[in-house]
């Protein structure tokens, strides 16, 4: 709540001369100068009939004056006089024009932007109670996963999830810790998970399905995590795990890279926004028009990478190339995720669809769009 009016007084919006509007009803008009008003001071005089005061931008308007004439529209004369040649509005910012004392200028659950910080300061507040960004830890699992830059043996693959999820999670975190890759060995996995659970939000890639070496869910629960859900009706991302322990939250993601990307956009990013105290945390889906027809297998909500281009104020969508949930190469050019309901068996060209921005630009730039 603002502690002050802003501006706290009628102030000049321009460098020039303050005078009474009746005195400049007919131009040119010659007025006598009775004083100066500069920023940081206070004019102890009054502007009367036939008078004017020199004034600078941001300075208090002297009592009696209701107009500031730009200095470019005047001609200063000898003998302490000024000739007004042209008018261009009042050029006065009235007291309380920006905010009034007692007015609510920031609400709980809003993101405090740099401009918001400035507003709070101009309202007279030196401190605000805020939610901090969460401390986030990331762990990648899988004996077959090797960090980029190291040699890979037959049957092994480079770790794309670690760098990709670090790039997604890092900017949202107060403190971000990448715990590296751990193989499917119960002892090492348990120790790595124990360390990760010290964060506010712990994200694990791989090891969450129902295979013989999918050890993440039981290990989390051995360490006191309470399962909230394991498996959800989305595609890709069905094996996703979520649990909580003592105020900390843990997400277990499937190992396929596109699955990780979708789960981050649909579930993890909203969870982080909720941890930040934001009132509006849910994914912001938009409407668009599909530029192609295709079939879809119903059963789960399907998220498909797509490009978005604006034409005549309408977002037009087209799917990117994809070979499945392990293929992020084809999805690299995507701006958004097309969201198809679980009962959808196909989309017709020209049909209105729902999508979620996921690219680097929100919305993306498009030639001529």
**Rounded Cα gap, residues 93 and 200, in angstroms:** 47
* Rounded Cα–Cα distance for residues 182 and 172 (Å): 24
Mean pLDDT of 37-51: 97
Residues in the chain, total: 369
In angstroms, the CA 178 to CA 175 distance is 10
Tokens representing 149 are: 């830059």
Give the Cα separation of 237 and 302 in Å (integer): 9
Q: What value does the mean pLDDT of the chain take?
A: 94
Contact (CB, 8 A) for 302 and 340: yes
For 18, residues 6+ apart whose C-beta sits below 8 A from its C-beta are 12, 37, 47, 52, 53, 55, 61, 62, 65, 67, 68
Q: What angle do CA 202, 206, 211 make, to 5 degrees?
A: 130
Query: Comparing C-alpha atoms, which of 138, 172, 328 is closest to residue 252?
Result: 138
Query: What is d(CA 54, CA 86) in angstroms, rounded to the nearest whole number?
Result: 16
Query: What is the model's pLDDT at position 289?
Result: 97
- Strands 294-295, 234-235: pairing kind: unpaired
- Which phi and psi angles does 160 have, rounded to 5°? -95, -25
pLDDT value of position 212: 78
Q: What is the 3-state secondary structure (H, E, C) of 115-129?
A: HHHHHHHHCCCCCCC
Full 3-state SS string of the chain: CCCCCECCCCEECCCEEEECHHHHCCCCEEEEEEEEECCCCCCCCECCCCEEEEECCCCECCECCCEEEEHHHEEEECCCEEEECCCCCCCEECCCCCECCCCCCCCCCCCCCHHHHHHHHHCCCCCCCCCCCCEEEEEEECCCEECCCCCCCCCCEECCHHHHHHHHHHHHCCEEEEEEEECCCHHHHHHHHHHHCCCCEEEEECCCCCCCCCCHHHHHHHCCCEEEEECCCEECCCCCEEEEECCEEEEEECCCHHHHHHHHHHHHHHHHHHHCCCCCCCCCEEEEEECCCEECCCCCEEEEEEEEEEECCEEEEEECCCCCCCCCCHHHHCCEEEEECCCCCEECCCCEEEEEECCCCCCCCCCCC
Q: Is pLDDT of 300 > 80?
A: yes
CA distance 169 to 55: 52
pLDDT value for 360: 63
pLDDT score recorded for residue 321: 87
For residue 199, pLDDT beyond 70 = yes
Q: What is the pLDDT of residues 177-194, one digit of tens each?
A: 999 999 989 999 999 999
Q: Are 171 and 202 in contact (CB under 8 A)?
A: no
pLDDT in tens, 244-280: 999 899 999 999 999 999 999 999 999 999 999 998 8
Predicted confidence (pLDDT) at residue 368 exceeds the cutoff of 50: no
pLDDT tens sequence across 117-155: 999 999 999 999 999 999 999 999 999 999 999 999 999
Residue 369: band (very low, low, confident or very high) from pLDDT cuts 50, 70, 90? very low
């Amino acid at each position: 709540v603002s502690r002050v009016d802003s501006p706290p007084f009628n102030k000049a919006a321009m460098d020039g001369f303050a005078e009474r509007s009746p005195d400049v009803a007919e131009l040119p008009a010659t007025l006598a100068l009775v004083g100066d008003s500069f920023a940081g001071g206070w004019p102890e005089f009054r502007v009367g009939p036939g008078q004017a005061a020199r004034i600078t931008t941001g300075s208090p308007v002297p009592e009696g004056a209701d107009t500031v004439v730009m200095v470019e529209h005047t001609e200063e004369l000898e003998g302490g006089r000024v000739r007004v040649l042209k008018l261009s509005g009042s050029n006065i910012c009235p007291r309380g024009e920006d905010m009034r004392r007692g007015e609510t200028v920031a609400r709980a659950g809003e993101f405090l932007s740099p401009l918001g910080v400035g507003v709070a300061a101009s309202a007279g507040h030196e401190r605000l109670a805020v939610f901090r960004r969460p401390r986030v830890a990331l762990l990648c699992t899988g004996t077959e996963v090797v960090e980029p830059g190291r040699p890979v043996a037959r049957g092994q693959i480079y770790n794309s999830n670690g760098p990709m999820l670090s790039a997604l999670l890092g900017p949202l975190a107060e403190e971000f810790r990448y715990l590296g890759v751990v193989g499917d060995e119960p002892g090492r996995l348990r120790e790595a998970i124990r360390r990760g659970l010290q964060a506010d939000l712990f994200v694990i890639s791989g090891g969450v399905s129902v295979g013989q070496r999918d050890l993440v869910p039981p290990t989390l629960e051995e360490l006191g995590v309470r399962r909230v859900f394991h498996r959800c009706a989305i595609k890709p991302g069905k094996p996703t795990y979520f649990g909580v322990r003592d105020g900390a939250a843990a997400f277990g993601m499937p190992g396929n890279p596109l699955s990780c990307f979708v789960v981050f956009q649909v579930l993890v990013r909203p969870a982080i926004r909720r941890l930040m105290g934001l009132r509006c945390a849910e994914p912001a889906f938009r409407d668009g028009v599909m530029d192609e027809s295709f079939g879809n297998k119903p059963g789960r909500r399907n998220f498909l990478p797509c490009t978005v281009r604006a034409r005549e104020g309408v977002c037009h969508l087209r799917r990117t190339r994809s070979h499945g949930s392990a293929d992020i190469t084809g999805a690299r050019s995507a701006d958004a995720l097309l969201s198809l309901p679980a009962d959808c068996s196909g989309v017709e060209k020209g049909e209105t669809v729902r999508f979620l921005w996921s690219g680097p630009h929100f919305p993306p730039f498009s030639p001529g769009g």
